[in-house]
Structure 1
Amino acid sequence: MIREATERGEFDNLDGMGKPLDLSDADDPDWWVKRKIRDENLDSSALLPMPLQLRKEAQGFPESLRHIADEVAVREILIDFNRRVREAHLSSRAGLPTLVTAHTVDVDALVLRWRTLRER
């Protein structure tokens, strides 16, 4: 099949043709994932463990909620965040120490900060 494809010219003019392969990170078993993320400018936060994802999300509060105009919606997002933090705590292996944990947020305090941001 490869010979036939070559004869049909299907491998002609491919990107990188005639250039050496970049094997600089071939020692890393996840090299191809990291390269794909870099080359396509993808968000890699989904690859983080859940506690780190939640901590990163919390660091964005309340600024990440600024575009939401409805206070009820903001409260629902924050309540859902706290629910996901509790689920992450429950799903961690019992008896094993967790190096990184996420913490619930004070919904009322963040809503006040959100209101201040919206008023500016």
Structure 2
Amino acid sequence: MAQVRDGERPYESAIDRAVREGAERGAFENLPGRGKPLPHLDDPSEDWWLRRYLDREGISREMLLPPSVQLRKAIDRLPETLAALRTERAVRDAVAELNVRIVEHLRFPSGPRISVQRIDADA
């Protein structure tokens, strides 16, 4: 830090000066959240802002996974998904929709190589 002689002001950047002048005018007095901690301070990870954005927009974090991983997860939770359905037609439609996604992936694979196979609706 530079030495300051009596009566002299230390160097102040344009930004520092604008903030100081705003504070002196009281421009920061009625801001929402004033006096409260920043919301992400309890999350030490670097991508806190991404998680907050996804949560705010209602986007599943699973959407960030590669398609092959998304499919594998959908296949793994298929028993729970089907258990919630009430009719055989609904079960067959859900399996058919998943099979369409699987076939599309098998035609044009992307992401890590993870084994995915079509589902037998009768099983």
Q: TM-score range by the shorter chain?
A: 0.5 to 0.7
Aligned residue number for residue 32 of structure 2: 14
Q: Which has the higher helix share?
A: 1
Which TM-score applies when normalising by structure 2?
A: 0.58
Q: Distance in 1 between matches of 2:103 and 2:93?
A: 15
Aligned residue number for residue 79 of structure 1: 96
- In structure 2, the gaps of 5 or more residues are 1-17
CA contact 1:37–1:44 (8 Å) conserved in 2: yes
Which TM-score applies when normalising by structure 1?
A: 0.59
- In structure 1, the gaps of 5 or more residues are 110-120
CA contact 1:55–1:103 (8 Å) conserved in 2: no
- Deviation at residue 15 of structure 1 after TM alignment: 2.4
Q: Distance in 1 between matches of 2:88 and 2:73?
A: 22
State the one-letter code of the partner of 2:117: H
Aligned residue number for residue 73 of structure 2: 56
Q: What fraction of aligned residue pairs are identical, expressed as a percent?
A: 25
- Deviation at residue 42 of structure 1 after TM alignment: 5.8
Aligned residue number for residue 116 of structure 1: none
- Over the aligned positions, Cα root-mean-square deviation in angstroms equals 3.7
Greater RCO (CA < 8 Å, at least 6 residues apart): 1
Q: Distance in 2 between matches of 1:53 and 1:35?
A: 21
SS of corresponding position for 2:78: coil
- Deviation at residue 36 of structure 1 after TM alignment: 3.6
SS of corresponding position for 1:83: helix
Q: Choose 1 or 2 for highest CA Rg.
A: 2
SS of corresponding position for 1:103: coil
Aligned residue number for residue 91 of structure 1: 108
